[in-house]
Chains A and B, each alone.
Chain A
Amino acid sequence: MTGKKLGRREFLKLMAGAAAGSALAACKPQIVKETVVVEKPVEKIVKETVVVTEEKVVKETVEKVVTATPVPRTEVSFWGNPLPRYAENIARYLPRFEEEHPTIKATYVPYPDEGEAKFLAMAVAGNAPDVRENAGSNYWNHVRNDLAMDLEQYYSDLPRAYMEDWSPRFLEWLRARDGSNSIWGVPMRSLHMVLLYNASLFDEVGADYPLDWNHDEYLSEGAKFRKEEDGRVVRWAGHSIVKADLWFEQKLKAFGGNLVDPEDWTRCALGEPESQEALEWLYKAIWEDNIWPQTAQIENYWYAPFDSGGIASQECASWIIGVWYEAIQERFRWDFAPYPKGPGGTRAANAGADCWTMWSGSPHPDEAWELMKWLVSDDGEICMMEAAGSEPARHSLYGDWYEIMKKQFPLMAEDTNWQAFEQPMAEGFDYITGVFADPGIAGEILNPALGQFIDAGEVTPDYFKGIADEITAAVRAEYG
């Protein structure tokens, strides 16, 4: 006896019926069980006649009806700080953004290695992140190459309090140089340059704390710290990563000089007398008095031996605090001072140039803007402050920052001059990193020259007069 074979038509009918049934089943509202934590009064008999009512935290299982058809949400992604603590903070705080914006799904991606090359490839492919961290010359690189969205139309949507809270110098820096109102970023954080100093070492050599140093005192007091052992220098007065243009420019600014002419970003100002004076100071500190280490004298130029007491002071920003705190612990007392004054008694402190930008090709600019607004809100700022230790972009949040720093670094909770970081913004001597119209072309000429000056000591400050002319000519030839 043979069974009837399932023909093609019957099979197709069967499959269609199964598919329709599944679709209907999926549409049916589902009942899900969810565990919630509630507080409810519970009576407890203490004695026979005494009944005590107390609030007790219990867990209850409740049933919730969930519609099977989810509300469509627009997905936006952002590249943020890659520190694990930032990821934890984002996991904690981002749901608040999504509660306030139920139609937006925001995804955080840690800023990847080789991020710039990856971002470029993704931009060409059409799937770059909607929002990302940006900074300094890279910001202007993105602007020049139409990678960043002009946010001018969105800026009026920002709370007025934010506009008054951010450094006006930062907002000015973010704006177009052609006088238009275009602006492509929102301030992300501050990284004010201060002087970290080993207070215990200052006590040991009998030097006054550098709370109000000028650069002459920097040199004269600095000589007290230099120490040699077996013909090798093992301790210096200070250090700064002046091979990097941000730190290099900081030194020029302290003397009233500039790397980039503030009025003309096609002109290099290294030839000006104030800049030359700063270069003379650097040359003396590194190559004549050697109160700053030469590159070959220390194992790691980018992380000088401040934690081992090899360096009495370091010019840096708040991002390094966590690194040194872990390494130093209670071995010695260290503190912060404002960046030393220049010859005229003026101060200047770099504030960094870290900002959030939106990709110009973002398919959801409005939603991405909502995410950017959240990133610069109190929640967004706290995520960054708690994770990276960096200061807020908004002045009013410095109170929160102090609390966060004292909590994260309990050994420095008392008797530490945290205010040194706020001082530049409070007193108006903060400035934003200078940028050439074509940073790539300028860097090709400047970086080798810095190497000759800082690493090798093969050239003297005069050399930079020619370099300044060369940079100006090259930038103007390319930029027009």
Chain B
Amino acid sequence: MTILTAMANLLPHLENEEMFLPLWHGVFQMAHNVQGASPHWDGQPLETDQVSLDSLKRWLRHWALVRHRDGAERCLLTAIANGASPGEVADLLASAATDRIVSDSGQVVDFMNKAFELLGLIGWEHASEVLPTVVGPLVNARGGEETSQWRHPVDLVSMLRQVDEELSR
């Protein structure tokens, strides 16, 4: 999906007869990616619109940290179903993605970014289909705090957490 979006971004710079080439490449990569994979059953939003965005954010961050995919996905879908703006949903996901330090070498933020770019191209009404695809990488990501290179010889994680606290004061 990342490649397809990047390819779609090229279209304005291309002549009509060249447009199919990047799109073909993108679709091919996407098909290759999902080949043989078991289907993903769509999650459902919570059946209430009484939950505040702050609660959803807190829950999403919690589910992401404990690597609970369904929980995280339902929080995200509830926010979308309750009419959160693209900026609010981006904030929701970005907060969860940055709880782990440079989660998966930054790939989570990158996937997220491309998913939002894709929605910019095809329309926000597809959000509940496109955005759940980033929940898997989000909850499965390894953060810098889990690897030794961020801990030794200098414990960067504790330095960053301290700055985090100082700045949020």
Are A and B part of the same complex? no
Residues of A with Cβ closer than 8 Å to B? none
